[in-house]
Each structure stands twice: as C-alpha cells, then as structure tokens.
C-alpha cells in the first residue's frame, strides 16, 4: 500500500468566518471549495509546510496557530492525510497569488458549499463550540431550566444533559423541556443516557459513556444526530475513532471538584494522547474558561465542564 499524500491544511479564522479558496477546473475535484494549504515536502515539518504554503499561496506570514487534528481519507485508492491547523493570527493582507478565487465564509454556511469529502470532517469540527456545559445537580425542573438559561445567556451554545438521579420517565420530561429552551437560544442539546432513551428526545446529539463506547463495533444509527463519547485513555480514544464519533471528551485533565474521576492526566499527557487522535477532543475534569488557550495549545478543540451556574 502506498503512503498517503501528506497535506498541511489551514483553517484561517476571523471571528466566526473562515477563509476558503476554490480549486481550479483543471485539477482533481474541480471547482470545489477547500481550505488553503498544500503538500508537505520531504524533510519538511507539518507546521513548516503550513507556513510556507500560506506565504506562497496567500502572501501572509503566520503568527499564531495550533494543531487541530489529522484527517485520513481514501479517494478511490488515493489516500490523503490532512494535517489540520487553526490559524488565528497572521500579518499581511491575504491575496490570491495562485489565481484561485478566495472567499470569507461564515462557518455555519460552509455545509451549503461543495467541498472535497475529506474537508467535511474539518467543517464539522470547526462548527463545534469552544465550551460544552454539562448539567450538574438541580432540585426541580424549574431549577434545571433556570440554571441552563443563565448559561445560555452567558453564551453557552451546547449543553450535555446528564441526570442519572432521574428515572427514564422523568428524564424525558426534563430533557424535552431543556431542548425547547436550547432551541430558543439557537443552542444544541446532547443527551447523556442509554441510547434507546436518548433517541426519544430528538435532541441534536447523544453521548456514550465509556462502557457504552466499548460495547459497539460500529457507529450506531442516530438519524443525523451528533455522537460524542467519554474517553480516559488511548484504548478508548481508538474505539471512539472506530465508531467515528463527532467529538469526544478526554478526562480527567485536572482533578474535578464535582466527583472523583481518577488520577488526573495533566496537560502533557492530554497533549500526548490528542496528538495521535483523529477526532476533535474536549478537555474535561476541573476545567475553567481560563484553561481554554492551554487546552487548544495542547491539541484540544475546547473544554467541557460542570461549572459556572452548576458549581
């Protein structure tokens, strides 16, 4: 089997917009939009190729960037490995030095454009929020909704509903009410429950705990819902890749105050585990908003926490 073509890919962000370019009519997958970047030359590092390609293609000098993940894809026998980086700061004015059309596009509009198949994984990843709020303890349905709305008003755009203390009937009542609240704020709700119960909510996604994760041999049928999973080690991360989950939580990075989740990984071990993972990874366990930059530098996509109005 031939080695996959190694490509450095840049997701260049400006607020909620991303810079994309259109492929020439004379190349494979013509006239499709893509993220800037190019082939990693022999003896060249991924980041070195990224910096060189953006200088040659767009005339910009990269100043701040971090690694996101790798995307492996097989185009009918032609394998590619995309080394994806987020570029958050650069100098110079972007220009088309290779005569390719350029366009700033809102991230939530990317799915309506034509991209090569491998790029679709990147689009899904950059559409995820920086932080996911996990519900903590509450005393009643009204208390749940009050706490959730405070989070939503503060900008949270994805909530994972976890309430193991409720029976299935009460859980569904609470989850459906929380879903309606999330919809009012254009936020997504992920359900942490047994799959047969979670699917009854018709929320935006479902979550697998580590035991559920290891039970499946392939991705369960979710009818276009997102799928997330809890991971604590490399074995579980590899299983999450097998199931092609949309994102996963790696914990505990720090010791959480909410519960005893085991020995903390620390940021160095978190970075080592995410370096070999092809999925978006959220850091979980003792996370605070002030940890976000450190998590991204370590290869994570964001943080997840029972914090804020659930402390």
**pLDDT tens digits, 130-145:** 999 999 999 999 999 9
Cα→Cα distances 15→42, 107, 151, 209, 212, Å = 34, 10, 21, 33, 37
Same domain, 75 and 223: no
Last residue of a domain, one of 62, 95, 126: 126
Same domain, 95 and 155: no
Same domain, 160 and 195: yes
- Cα 100 from Cα 111, distance rounded (Å): 20
Same domain, 38 and 140: no
Last residue of a domain, one of 87, 103, 126: 126
Q: Output the six-digit token pair for 83.
A: 């080394």
pTM: 0.85
Strand partners, 223: none
Number of domain units in the chain: 2
Same domain, 60 and 163: no
Q: Of 301, 300, 307, 268, nearest to 285 (Cα)?
A: 307
The pLDDT value recorded for residue 306 is 87
Q: Give the pLDDT band (50/70/90) at residue 311.
A: low
Pick 311 or 118 by higher pLDDT.
118
Q: What does the pLDDT look like over 157-195, one tens digit per residue?
A: 999 999 999 999 999 999 999 999 999 999 999 999 999
Same domain, 279 and 248: yes
The residue assigned the tokens 């996959």 is 4
Q: What is the mean pLDDT of residues 31-44?
A: 94
The pLDDT value recorded for residue 299 is 87
Output DSSP code: residue 243.
T
Contact in structure between 182 and 188 (CB atoms under 8 Å): yes
Same domain, 300 and 154: yes
Q: What is the mean pLDDT of residues 94-102?
A: 92
The residue assigned the tokens 């997330």 is 228
Structural domain for 96, as ranges: 5-126
pLDDT at 255 over 80: no
For residue 296, is it left (φ>0), alpha (ψ between -120 and 50) or beta? alpha
Last residue of a domain, one of 126, 148, 173: 126
Give the CA count within 13 Å in the CB-facing half-sphere of 8.
26
Query: CA torsion, points 12, 16, 19, 22, in degrees to nearest 10?
Result: 140
Q: Of 245, 251, 205, 252, nearest to 229 (Cα)?
A: 245
The residue assigned the tokens 């299983």 is 239
pLDDT at 68 over 90: no
Mean pLDDT of the chain: 92
CATH number at residue 32: 3.90.79.10
Q: What does the pLDDT look like over 195-252, one tens digit per residue?
A: 999 999 999 999 999 999 999 999 999 888 999 999 999 999 999 999 999 999 999 9
pLDDT at 64 over 80: yes
Same domain, 163 and 85: no
Give the CA count within 13 Å in the CB-facing half-sphere of 290.
1
Same domain, 37 and 108: yes
């Amino acid at each position: 089997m031939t080695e996959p073509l190694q490509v450095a890919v840049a997701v260049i962000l400006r607020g909620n917009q991303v810079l994309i370019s259109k492929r020439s009519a004379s190349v494979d997958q013509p006239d499709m939009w893509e993220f800037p970047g190019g082939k990693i030359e022999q003896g060249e590092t991924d980041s070195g190729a990224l910096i060189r390609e953006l200088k040659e293609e767009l005339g910009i000098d990269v100043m701040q960037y971090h690694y996101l993940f790798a995307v492996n894809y097989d185009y009918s026998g032609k394998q590619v490995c995309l080394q994806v980086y987020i570029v958050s700061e650069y100098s110079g004015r972007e220009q088309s030095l290779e005569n390719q059309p350029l366009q700033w596009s809102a991230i939530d509009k990317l799915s309506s454009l034509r991209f090569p198949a491998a790029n679709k994984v990147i689009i899904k990843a950059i559409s995820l929020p920086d932080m996911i709020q996990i519900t903590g303890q509450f005393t009643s349905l009204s208390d749940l909704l009050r706490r959730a709305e405070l989070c939503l008003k503060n900008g949270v755009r994805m909530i994972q509903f976890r309430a193991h203390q409720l029976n299935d009937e009460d859980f569904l009542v609470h989850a459906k009410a929380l879903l309606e609240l999330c919809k009012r704020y254009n936020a997504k709700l992920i359900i942490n429950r047994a799959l047969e119960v979670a699917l009854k909510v018709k929320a935006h996604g479902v979550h697998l705990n580590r035991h559920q994760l290891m039970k499946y041999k392939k991705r369960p049928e979710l009818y276009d819902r997102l799928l997330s999973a809890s991971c604590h080690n490399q074995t579980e991360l590899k299983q999450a890749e097998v199931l092609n989950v949309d994102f996963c939580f790696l914990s505990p990075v720090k010791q959480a105050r909410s519960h005893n989740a085991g020995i903390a990984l620390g940021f160095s071990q978190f970075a080592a585990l995410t370096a070999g993972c092809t999925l978006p990874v959220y850091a979980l366990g003792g996370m605070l908003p002030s940890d976000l930059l450190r998590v991204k530098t370590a290869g994570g996509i964001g943080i997840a926490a029972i914090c804020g109005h659930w402390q």
